[in-house]
Amino acid sequence: MAFISKNMLFALVLALTVLCSPAMACTSFIITPGASADGSMYVGHTNDGFGAGVVGHKVANESAQVIYVPAADHPEGAMRAVNYDPNSGSDEPTSIKEAQSKPLSYIPEVKHTYGYYTGSYGIINEHQLMSGEVTTGAKVQPASDPKNRIFYSSELSNIALERTRTAKDAVTLIGQLIDQYGYYGTGETLLFGDPNEAWVIEMCGGTPDGKGGLWVAQKVPNGEIFVTANTFRIRDVVPGNPDQMYSDSLFPAARANGWWNESEGNLDWLKTVSEGEYSHPYYSLGRVWSLYSRIAPSRNFTPYVTDTYSREYPFSLAPDKKLSTADAFALFRDHYEGTVWDLTTGPAAGPFGNPYRWRGPFDDHGHIIFGEVKPGAWPRAVSEMFCGYSYINQGRSWLPDPIGGIVWFGFAQPAETVYIPFYAGGTQVPAEWSDTDRSIFSRDQAWWAFNYVTNWATLNYRAMIVDIKARQQVIEQRQFVDQPVLEENARQLYYTKGEDAARAYLTAYSTANARANLDDWWKLSDQLVVKYSNMMVSDFANGTTALPGYPDAWLQDNKYQYGPRIYDAKDLQNVVGLAYVNMTVDTTPGNELNLIRETQRTNATERIIEFLKGRYSVSVRNLTHQIMKTG
């Protein structure tokens, strides 16, 4: 067998980092029935990224959309096209236009394929098989090859939803496809859940002969919750473990590449094939910690780890309390509020607690490089400005598949979006959801409605998030209230008039409800523009306008108190340690500066000044004065 040296691997990784196209950077979870309040299975996914990618059976210019691929029967000998994914992060010279013009390869089609919803990756099929995804770094990220490597995770997830009904069957099929046809691109994690069982499969390149690929799958124990965020989460691979599956090539490839040998004990999948986190320390593990610390606060997980291969956070865990659908939504609506990584605090959050950051050249995700020290980093939150869409799939074993399965789908940033239900039995998606074009602002596109609201809110996030959350709560609570009646009606139709009648009913509801919510969100956007324009808060219904200004701490830090509030403005600049006092006071005309000196300086500053006056020379005092004045 050929040997891949560490130097060769590093060079390959570096080349791919430079040459690869952007890939998604996502957060996903599984909540098993025993960990949910009503026995539902949940699979959640944030699709954090934009641009071209495989959507259904085509290469789309924009992946921030959701479509429905109907069930179909296929003639004997039919072939299924496998498209190259420009979002795969592989060193692939194929242009988007070329990828759209012809498939990468073909595989034999099956006699019947199931209907399913999909976006950048498969979402949920008509039999309540649910899927999620995250991109991960891998030591080897090979280019596609029509003869040896034709699959990336996007097409694998779609084919799994087309051909299987259970999570275990899905990961088994994916493993077989990788072994037979090969894998290219970044490392990837796919999550699958059916109403009863959940599995996770992680995959990458790395076979010495460049054929096939490496993969391992692991079952999520019932009663527990699994979280992943741009790092492989499966660790020890133990032969004979009934809750694991892996490629036949894994152990031989690990030995041949010098990544592992038996003397080291169990093969650690993460350490063997990957460099761990993306981009920078805590880019991935910070999000795992955030979700786990909210799911199981009694575990007292530390936010700090020793390195990228930390075992601080288990593969899965039992929650302190069982989670509802609303709780599942809340897992994605996180900016680390109230923690050491809180993005709503600090100078970068501005005066109004804006949790979103403009990304610079050091902030995009990519390979972590051991020993590299970047000039800085923002904490990578779950809800990010670059999220295209997110969803929470729900599966319920006690209902017929068309009714039991739901994708609660939300465009743009999870914290400010509305999760809208589309049923597994649905047969179409409104055009507003399946025709996104980020190059043109349009009120005919649902993505723009939700993205616009969040972007506008960054002008005064602390104020506007109150309006957004209020409307979000009203819509989602109404949907929860409607749900039992709607589903009972669908169930009666299912058993009296047949499955087609129930599916038509659910499709009509999902379409009407989605469009009504879209109209409502555009109205909210208009209201926010009117209410918060011109740095005022206007209530035209009551004829009032408020001037809220800035928080006291912001005014203090930005030296509002040194502004031109008296005519002795020049001398005011030389007063050391002025405090912002948030009140207007009166004095004798001409005494304004003395009043300020005597009553509007901090006590700590006063003590330091008096100490310096008595102990140090004039030159030292002047130097200290200048340092204190400028901060």
Count CB neighbours of 573 within 10 A: 12
pLDDT at 287 over 60: yes
- Residue 631 pLDDT level (bands cut at 50, 70, 90): very low
Mean residue pLDDT of the chain comes to 91
pLDDT at 625 over 70: no
Q: Which residues touch 621 (CB under 8 Å, ≥6 apart)?
A: 612, 613
What separation, in Å, do the N-terminal and C-terminal C-alpha atoms of the chain show? 63
For the segment 450-470, the average pLDDT, to the nearest whole number, is: 98
Give the pLDDT of residue 617: 47
Of 152, 142, 172, nearest in space to 160 by CA: 172
538-574 pLDDT, tens digit each: 999 999 999 999 999 999 999 999 999 999 999 999 9
- Residue 9 pLDDT level (bands cut at 50, 70, 90): very low
pLDDT at 461 over 80: yes
pLDDT at 452 over 90: yes
What region, left, alpha or beta, does residue 146 occupy, with left being phi > 0 and alpha being psi -120 to 50 degrees?
alpha
393-442 pLDDT, tens digit each: 999 999 999 999 999 999 999 999 999 999 999 999 999 999 999 999 99
Long-range contacts, stretch 325-329, CB < 8 angstroms, 24+ apart: 325/40, 325/42, 325/392, 325/394, 325/408, 325/480, 326/476, 326/480, 327/37, 328/29, 328/31, 328/36, 328/42, 328/44, 328/392, 328/394, 329/392, 329/408, 329/419, 329/476
Check if the beta carbon of residue 66 is closer than 8 Å to that of residue 117. Answer: yes
308-335 pLDDT, tens digit each: 999 999 999 999 999 999 999 999 999 9
91-109 pLDDT, tens digit each: 455 567 777 878 999 999 9
581-617 pLDDT, tens digit each: 999 999 999 999 999 999 998 775 555 555 555 554 4
pLDDT at 455 over 60: yes
Question: Could you tell me the residue ranges of all domains in the chain?
Answer: 6-240+260-518, 552-630
Tokens of 445: 């596109």
Give the pLDDT of residue 100: 80
Count CB neighbours of 280 within 10 A: 22
Write down how long the chain is.
Answer: 631
Of 186, 196, 112, nearest in space to 156 by CA: 186
Hunting for tokens 């009904």 — which residue is that?
A: 165
Give the pLDDT of residue 615: 53
Q: How far is CA 328 from CA 219, 221, 316, 417, in A?
A: 20, 18, 16, 14
Give the pLDDT of residue 429: 97
pLDDT at 81 over 60: yes
| Cα 389 from Cα 391, distance rounded (Å) | 7
Give the pLDDT of residue 626: 47
For the segment 144-148, the average pLDDT, to the nearest whole number, is: 95
467-487 pLDDT, tens digit each: 999 999 999 999 999 999 999
Q: Which residues touch 402 (CB under 8 Å, ≥6 apart)?
A: 126, 423, 424, 425, 490, 494, 499, 502, 503, 506
Share of the chain above pLDDT 90, in %: 84
- Residue 363 pLDDT level (bands cut at 50, 70, 90): confident
For the segment 368-387, the average pLDDT, to the nearest whole number, is: 92
Tokens of 49: 């990224």
Give the pLDDT of residue 7: 39
Give the pLDDT of residue 11: 34
Give the pLDDT of residue 95: 65
Give the pLDDT of residue 621: 43
pLDDT at 66 over 70: yes
Of 510, 423, 412, nearest in space to 468 by CA: 412
Give the pLDDT of residue 317: 98
